[in-house]
Structure 1
């Protein structure tokens, strides 16, 4: 299941994913969960675990020592507070992944949505609110960037007053999100420069950017001041981040720590194991450098 489906229909995780046994030798998934080192602030994207009721998932996060969850809206925040889990990336103001800030026909609705959501995020005690460029629809990079900057400037002052950071996600346009505008780090960095605000950052999705441009460690070290959040995922396939895929996450996480990053790294792979929480535990331990 793609996140696009989850956003639009709140569908549960795909029932067609086949279970496979744990393969990473560095984690004993039958052993008690160990205390985390504290160098990485861990989170998990709930849409990947939508087949698990949220309350049970929050209890599972506590058992793993993970104190944050990504991609939840106001309707879920009271339950998060009950379990002491932080909303590390809020959503609910976006229209969808295709109708975004690079297209001025959506600015009116987006400005209304974000103007209503930003104060709610702040009042709940949270900081990060996701946003999307949307599809190109025939626009070139420069035109789309100018449109996005024009629209976002109309809500950035509100975000600044409330201490909220708008985070635009970098997504691949090759496999998962055809025609998406913000599909390269360079475009996102140019938008950050055009806006000139510490309250607009990039959500650097490692899975998506591996597909589009690779060179992950050099890119994040070069542009770390523009990055406010990270998502993980195994490539190819967007499953577990162990040795079954091409990225070596311990080295990536060490580079993130080296940059002085203090935000969150959220697991956003779709578990293929029957025990989804064991798969999440493995991903967290791999990234806990």
Structure 2
């Protein structure tokens, strides 16, 4: 092919592809947002806390998202008004850094969880978050045994009320010194406690930073994972092509384990339209 003819043909082809791409984007923008709901979708409200909670709940109703994460008792009546489930309750913990690995916090934590577990059950919810706390020079094995000693005192109550206590995994970049910072430590804690009413909140963002190999971890340890959080790496922003994780494959791996709990979006939106960012994330996870 002569160069002149080649260039002309290439330009025409490029123009055609651009026109097709523009049409596809227009069609996508006009497409009705709809979820298959093979995965139970949830959203962490704190990532969208510049939107008043009641307004945000109305938006979730419009999107067909039926759950929200990390809400305490004071907000539960409003959730019930809009028929939004609290997929991860909070309010019993002291803090992320002061947790079950330190016996000096056990008395307060046992009191808090003993009061909160019946409230969670009475409200019709299941999951209640907890934290290991920071090491502060403590050996990981000592900290694990301390967690067992403390949590063992509330697990029977959780079993009685059908509440699942879930300890979240964090990375050392965002949460330096936090003890429950890897899957194996968390799984070992689950094994020591030996109860279906204690699980791990597997935060995909945190564990990609801390240990990687996300899909293999899900396949190997999914019986111990009771809840999932999402976010893009690096930056904790949208889960689109701007980051290194491919969420459709990750969510597919979760779905293939038979998981019937919730996957909650916990990314911090950077798009001008935060709800469009949320819709995009939900569709990427709607396997």
Under a length normalisation based on structure 1, what TM-score does the superposition of the two structures give?
0.89
Q: Does 1:71 align with 2:70?
A: yes
Equivalence for 1:176: 174
Equivalence for 1:257: 255
Distance 2:25 2:242 in 1: 13
Structure 2 residue runs without a partner (length 5+): 1-23
Secondary structure at 2:129 match in 1: strand
Equivalence for 1:18: none
Pairing of 1:106-117 with structure 2 (within 5 A): 106-117=105-116
Secondary structure at 1:230 match in 2: strand
Distance 1:95 1:33 in 2: 43
| Higher-Rg member (1/2) | 2
Under a length normalisation based on structure 2, what TM-score does the superposition of the two structures give?
0.90
Equivalence for 2:100: 101
Distance 1:158 1:261 in 2: 24
Aligned-residue offset at 1:28: 7.1
Structure 1 residue runs without a partner (length 5+): 1-24
After the TM superposition, which parts of structure 1 deviate over 6 Å for at least 4 consecutive aligned residues? 25-29
Aligned-residue offset at 1:263: 0.1
Q: Does structure 2 conserve the Cα–Cα contact (< 8 Å) formed by 1:94 and 1:130?
A: yes
Equivalence for 1:47: 46
Aligned with residue 222 of structure 1, among 210, 220, 223: 220
Distance 2:111 2:171 in 1: 27
Aligned-residue offset at 1:33: 4.3
Q: Does structure 2 conserve the Cα–Cα contact (< 8 Å) formed by 1:240 and 1:270?
A: yes
Distance 2:89 2:108 in 1: 18
Listed one character per residue, the Cα deviations across residues 185-206 of structure 1 (whole Å, up to 9, x for unaligned) are 0000000000000000000000
Distance 1:272 1:37 in 2: 26
Size of the aligned set, in residue pairs, is: 264
- The 3 A distance-change label for structure 1 pair 111 and 236 is same
Aligned-residue offset at 1:26: 8.4
Equivalence for 1:206: 204
RMSD of aligned C-alpha atoms? 1.4
Secondary structure at 1:111 match in 2: helix
- The 3 A distance-change label for structure 1 pair 69 and 33 is farther
Q: Does structure 2 conserve the Cα–Cα contact (< 8 Å) formed by 1:128 and 1:165?
A: yes
Equivalence for 2:132: 133
Q: Does structure 2 conserve the Cα–Cα contact (< 8 Å) formed by 1:33 and 1:63?
A: no
- The 3 A distance-change label for structure 1 pair 254 and 46 is same
Listed one character per residue, the Cα deviations across residues 212-243 of structure 1 (whole Å, up to 9, x for unaligned) are 00000000110000000000000000000001
Distance 1:219 1:27 in 2: 38
Q: Does 1:231 align with 2:226?
A: no
- The 3 A distance-change label for structure 1 pair 217 and 134 is same
Q: Which has the higher contact order (CA 8 A, sep 6+)?
A: 1
Aligned-residue offset at 1:29: 7.3
Equivalence for 2:55: 56
Aligned-residue offset at 1:32: 5.2
Secondary structure at 1:192 match in 2: helix
Distance 2:222 2:129 in 1: 18
Q: Does structure 2 conserve the Cα–Cα contact (< 8 Å) formed by 1:29 and 1:282?
A: no
